[in-house]
């Protein structure tokens, strides 16, 4: 990465072994204490750590420090072409299988509980034979990762939520084994089974969410071509890997090819499609001396380019870094469960030990003391806590998908109820992102159908987006394009011309067609003030009309803006387009504030400025250039019709291009955030109320297990209320 200051370098690492936000906080604290480190940021969501340290510092010391904590710190190759491995997707599959197996194996316990409710007594072999065997398989098979992590944390002198999970489930299993071996019929196998099964579901959902958080970065890093055509000193060309390029290398880029790296044009002219970076729907004409960015598309000319920036110094690299930085900032606001886990776990263990000691001191039998201590561990085991967030996300995600909305995470939902501003990208979001003819103006009643046939035939020879829009319009109007075009030529920056039926047909600027009659000039000025691009049309050097092309607003854009206003939100339109066009669209849609001509790397800065002013901000966009802004916003919403990078960077994705779903997405986010807070409040409140009861010996383990199950059922039932979103 680019060094932030002289003498420092920033390196990215993969962190292995993190299981919750408290793990990330502990690693970050340890790294920042090291003398070699200037600053360290650990992102639990993506499993990455960005560490800024002295240029000559040995990061082996850091690796050893983190290894002593029970985690692994693995340096990543900055310029590697290999796709980043999605470890969380693998972990999600791993926990998915464990959760499914665990749930299947708990069916006999559920049957037993139902039978007891209706007064039926199952055979002794069921509870004394089948259930112990299943509980053992579930705990030491399905739940082994919990135990292994608890052991690893203990060796490193630390604890986390896995410690409490392992202790609670193991205590229930050990106590039940003791009871059964001593002939006591009061056993609690179901407690151990349910703890592991429920928390496996939680791990599955959590790793799914984490996998989504890292996809934006992986998608960005996989953009662009992998090979470049290098022009050698002897004039020969050689295809080399992009990662092998150096500053100053001379590249040859042919029409229709992606530009491999940032550089300066040294030879040639071409229209370059920069929409993936700027959002501008019209390709930009580039000539000698102009700068071009890697991963943009050369549409119509051969270019020779001298490389000026690579990797993290490139435009795309800066966008990637901005997305990563925004995700790190989000990860700093950990979920409530993770924030208090470092305190909650040792406190519960301490209460259980203290309960055992106090009961023995006051003369209670050993069995009574052990029963009370086990009850504390069982009642405190965070089944409901572990389910609080993933269950709400699972239900809301299912309901959202039915409505055509993909929900990816919880962090952005925390402040949705306080939303102040919604920022819309213009091109491809509020507009269709496709150039269309919006009007044809003629002089002296020139026949429109005939003119469209001539112009359509001419423009059919070009691949330019404006030309394609004209051809499409001519076809829609039924114009006859069956003409032979000869001497066709594109005149850079001016337009195109050719011979049809012995007539010279020209489409373009005044520099190409000559003087424009005053009456037509007035109409052209009006079209341009409305945000359209206008090309004049001349036949045999006589201007006979003009055709206006524009990126039109979506049909529903006005009503969506009105809906945002009805919600009390300020509406801002953000665009890389020119000010005249952006203002015209903004006025037409009733936008409160228009911010135009914004560079790709500055879009996230606009969002940050709004947040710094105390605003809670939602961002709706569709392009690669929107990805940093989508990540920076409190709530990022991507259009499903947009780029994969934008969809991965956002917190929500609208699976269709229907902007009305923005309001539905906000409703789902708000309701989900409310349900999660209710779930967490219930889970923590439940522990606060029941732990003292268990410690006093007033709550036997079987009732503790039942209360724990009831707590989890309450969380599940509350989460299921999200199924009603959109139906109320």
Burial classification of residue 502, based on how many CB atoms lie within 10 Å of its CB (0-12 exposed, 13-18 middle, 19 or more buried)? exposed
- CA 406/CA 371 separation, integer angstroms: 46
Q: Which two tokens stand for residue 460?
A: 């059919």
Q: Contact, 665 vs 652, CB < 8 A?
A: yes
The values of phi and psi at residue 225, to 5°, are -80, 155
Burial classification of residue 663, based on how many CB atoms lie within 10 Å of its CB (0-12 exposed, 13-18 middle, 19 or more buried)? middle
Sequence-distant (≥ 6) Cβ neighbours of residue 37 within 8 angstroms: 31, 51, 52, 53, 57, 62
Cross-strand bridge partners of residue 621: 638
- CA 492/CA 156 separation, integer angstroms: 67
CA atoms within 13 A on the CB side of 474: 23
- Which helix (H) or strand (E) element contains residue 617? strand 617-621
Cross-strand bridge partners of residue 617: 421
- CA 482/CA 244 separation, integer angstroms: 49
- CA 107/CA 196 separation, integer angstroms: 14
- Which helix (H) or strand (E) element contains residue 414? none
Give the active site residue among 88, 262, 338, 425. 425
Chain-centre distance for alpha carbon 413: 13
How far is residue 493 from each of residues 286, 300, 444, 509, measured CA to CA in Å?
A: 9, 13, 28, 8
Q: Which two tokens stand for residue 42?
A: 């650990």
- CA 156/CA 645 separation, integer angstroms: 39
Please indicate whether residue 425 is annotated as part of the active site: yes
Chain-centre distance for alpha carbon 206: 15
Unique residue bearing structure tokens 């594109």: 490
- CA 40/CA 138 separation, integer angstroms: 39
- CA 583/CA 480 separation, integer angstroms: 36
- CA 247/CA 64 separation, integer angstroms: 36
Closest residue by Cα to residue 379 from 352, 406, 413, 350: 352
Which residues form the catalytic set?
Answer: 425
């Amino acid at each position: 990465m680019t060094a932030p200051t002289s003498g420092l370098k920033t390196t990215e690492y993969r962190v292995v072994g993190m299981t919750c936000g408290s793990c990330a906080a502990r690693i970050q604290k340890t790294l920042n204490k090291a003398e070699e480190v200037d600053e360290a940021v650990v992102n639990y969501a993506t499993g990455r750590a960005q560490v800024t340290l002295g240029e000559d510092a040995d990061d082996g010391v850091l690796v050893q420090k983190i290894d002593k904590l029970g985690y692994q710190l693995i340096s990543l190759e900055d310029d590697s072409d290999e796709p980043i491995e999605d470890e969380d997707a693998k972990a999600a599959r791993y926990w998915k299988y464990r959760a499914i197996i665990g749930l299947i194996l708990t069916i006999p316990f559920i049957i037993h509980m139902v039978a007891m409710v209706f007064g039926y007594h199952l055979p002794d072999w069921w509870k004394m034979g089948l259930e112990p065997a299943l509980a053992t398989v579930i705990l030491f098979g399905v739940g082994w990762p919990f135990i292994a992590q608890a052991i690893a944390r203990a060796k490193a002198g630390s604890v986390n939520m896995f410690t409490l999970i392992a202790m609670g489930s193991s205590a229930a299993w050990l106590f039940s084994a003791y009871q059964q071996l001593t002939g006591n019929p009061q056993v609690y196998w179901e407690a151990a089974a349910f703890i592991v099964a429920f928390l496996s579901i939680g791990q599955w959902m959590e790793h799914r969410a984490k996998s989504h958080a890292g996809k934006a970065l992986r998608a960005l890093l996989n953009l662009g071509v992998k090979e470049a055509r290098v022009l050698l000193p002897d004039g020969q060309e050689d295809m080399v890997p992009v990662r092998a390029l150096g500053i100053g290398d001379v590249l040859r880029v042919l029409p229709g090819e992606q530009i491999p790296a940032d550089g300066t044009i040294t030879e040639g002219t071409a229209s370059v499609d920069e929409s993936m970076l700027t959002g501008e729907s019209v390709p930009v004409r580039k000539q000698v001396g102009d700068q071009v960015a890697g991963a943009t598309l050369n549409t119509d000319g051969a270019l020779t380019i001298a490389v000026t920036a690579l990797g993290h110094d490139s435009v795309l690299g800066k966008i990637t870094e901005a997305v990563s930085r925004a995700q790190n900032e989000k990860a700093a606001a950990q979920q409530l469960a993770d924030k208090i886990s470092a305190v909650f776990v040792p406190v519960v263990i301490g209460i259980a030990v203290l309960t055992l000691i106090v009961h023995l001191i006051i003369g209670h039998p050993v069995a009574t003391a052990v029963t009370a201590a086990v009850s504390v561990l069982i009642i405190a085991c965070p089944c409901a806590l572990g389910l609080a967030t993933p269950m709400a996300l699972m239900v809301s995600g299912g309901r959202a998908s039915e409505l055509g909305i993909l929900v990816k995470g919880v962090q952005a939902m925390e402040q949705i109820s306080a939303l102040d501003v919604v920022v819309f990208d213009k091109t491809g979001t509020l507009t269709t992102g496709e150039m269309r003819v919006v009007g044809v103006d003629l002089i002296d009643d020139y026949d429109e159908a005939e003119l469209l046939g001539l112009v359509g035939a001419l423009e059919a020879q070009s691949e330019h987006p404006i030309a394609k829009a004209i051809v499409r319009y001519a076809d829609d109007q039924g114009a006859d394009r069956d003409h032979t075009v000869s001497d066709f030529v594109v005149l850079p920056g001016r337009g195109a011309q050719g011979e049809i039926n012995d007539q010279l047909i020209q489409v373009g600027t005044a520099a190409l067609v000559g003087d424009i009659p005053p009456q037509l000039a007035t109409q052209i000025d009006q079209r341009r003030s409305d945000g359209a691009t206008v090309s004049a049309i001349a036949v045999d050097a006589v201007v006979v009309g003009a055709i206006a092309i524009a990126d039109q607003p979506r049909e529903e854009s006005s009503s969506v803006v009105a809906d945002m206003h009805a919600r009390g939100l300020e509406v801002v339109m953000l665009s890389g387009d020119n000010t005249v066009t952006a203002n015209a669209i903004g006025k037409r849609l009733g936008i409160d504030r228009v911010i135009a001509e914004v560079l790709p790397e500055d879009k996230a800065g606009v969002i940050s400025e709004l947040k710094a002013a105390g605003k809670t901000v939602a961002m709706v966009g569709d392009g690669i250039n929107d990805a940093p802004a989508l990540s920076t916003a409190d709530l990022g919403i991507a259009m499903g019709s947009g780029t994969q990078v934008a969809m991965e960077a956002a917190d929500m994705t609208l699976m269709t291009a229907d902007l009305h779903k923005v309001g539905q997405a906000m409703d789902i986010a708000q309701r989900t955030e409310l349900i999660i807070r209710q779930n967490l409040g219930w889970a923590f409140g439940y522990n606060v109320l029941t732990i003292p009861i268990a410690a006093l010996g007033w709550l036997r383990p079987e009732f503790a297990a039942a209360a724990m199950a009831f707590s989890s059922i309450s969380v599940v039932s509350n989460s299921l209320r999200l199924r009603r979103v959109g139906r109320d």
